[in-house]
Amino acid sequence: MVYSGRNEELIAPLLEQFTTDTGIDVEVRYAGSGELAAQLITEGQNSPADVFLSQDAGALGAVSQAGLFAPIDAETLAAVPAEYSAADGTWVGVSGRARTIVYNPELVPTPPDTVDGLLDPQWRGQIAYAPSNASWQSFVTGLRVLRGDEGAQEWLQAFKAQDPQPYESNGQIRDAVDAGEIGMGLINHYYMYELINSKGAENVAARLQFMAPGDPGGLMNVAGVGVLATAPDPDAAQAFAAYLVGESAQQYFASETAEFPLLDGVAVVGDVPALTDLDPPAVDLSQLDDIEATQQMLVDTGLLTN
């Protein structure tokens, strides 16, 4: 049983290929990564899940902190750079994604490339964000790591004063910006390439802005997988984790979901910049596990409702 915080449309073809290649059948439960992390923690030793495939490192970290993961096989961990997996080896990153700004040049001719630039009064009411999304919450957690809770709280209060508009998801933000309903929004980079691939570049009005070197807004997060210590089929679970960092799956992430492959030798596709060309902020992904405090901070500033 796979608990998947990754979108079914994005990941289902890869899971089918895994079954074809290995003969291992996969049963999947899809939901938000944060929701699934909370469910795993609630289920504890009684969870039916073998593996947790998460959209981001923060949700994986929360489950790891609860002591619910078994160690990932050493060979699987060794397949990707250490900075994209848990420091204690309890989960492994499988693909990378950068936080970016999607903007409509008709409304925002010159977008900011820093989180502090978003606080310019000219952008009041023109910024979209997805308050319940795991990637947004991980960005805020990363901001807490980089600036401390006080600094993060100050930024969130200033951001709230900009009257940002809440959306359900990265995809909804992208579509609203492309349609000219709002000037810009905070999303993961691959959502933009997904739109270009489906509509054709000539039919897409929106553009993508990568963040300035080292800016907190350019957090490089990962999708990743952890094997539950109580997995009913631990061998199949470890085989699944190994498959996701193998060449076939890594090529899938590069070509089909426009993410950054983490396996050396697998290149990005199209106009996606190489991972080595970006300069994200120095955040240990294992430090993104304090989701509850981040959510409370967002509630306190009025950027998230319970």
User: Is residue 156 domain-resident?
Assistant: yes
Could you tell me if 140 and 147 are in contact, meaning their C-beta atoms sit under 8 angstroms apart? Answer: no
Alpha-carbon span 165 to 16, nearest angstrom? 37
Q: Are residues 175 and 242 in the same domain?
A: no
Q: Which segments are annotated as binding site?
A: 190-191
Residues 144 and 244 occupy one common structural domain: no
190 in the same domain as 163: yes
Residue 275 confidence (pLDDT): 83
- Residue 261 phi, psi (nearest 5): -70, 145
Residues 191 and 122 grouped into a single domain: yes
Would you say residue 280 lies in a domain?
Answer: no
Q: Which domain holds residue 170?
A: 97-218+289-300
pLDDT for residue 271 = 80
Residue 283 lies in a domain: no
Q: Are residues 123 and 214 in the same domain?
A: yes
Any domain includes 36: yes
| 102 shares a domain with 70 | no
What is the per-residue pLDDT for 272?
84
Are the C-beta atoms of residues 211 and 218 closer than 8 Å to each other? yes
Q: What is the pLDDT of residue 116?
A: 98
Contacts within 8 Å (CB) and 24+ apart, 68-71: 68/40, 68/41, 68/44, 68/228, 68/229, 68/230, 69/226, 69/227, 69/228, 69/229, 70/227, 70/228, 70/229, 70/231, 70/234
Number of structural domains found in the chain: 2
- Does a structural domain hold residue 121? yes
User: Do residue 76 and residue 205 come from a single domain?
Assistant: no
In a shared domain, residues 107 and 195: yes
User: Looking at residue 113, what is its pLDDT?
Assistant: 96
Give the end-to-end CA distance of the chain in Å, rounded to a whole number. 29
What pLDDT, on the 0 to 100 scale, is given for residue 160? 98
Mark 137-146 as b/e (b = at least 16 C-beta within 10 Å): bbbbbbbbbb
Judge if 32 and 49 occupy the same domain. yes
Q: Do 85 and 73 reside in the same domain of the chain?
A: yes
Compute how many other C-beta atoms are within 10 angstroms of the C-beta atom of residue 136. 25
CATH of the domain at 154: 3.40.190.10
Q: Note whether 182 and 128 are within 8 A (CB).
A: yes
Residue 55's pLDDT is 87
pLDDT at res. 228: 99
| Weakly modelled stretches of the chain, pLDDT under 70 | none
What integer pLDDT is reported at residue 118 of this predicted model?
98
pLDDT at residue 278 in the model: 87
Pair 295, 169 in one domain: yes
* Joined tokens for residue 78: 């060794």
**Same domain assignment for residues 83 and 132:** no
* Annotated binding residues for Fe cation: 190-191
Query: Is 282 among the domain residues?
Result: no
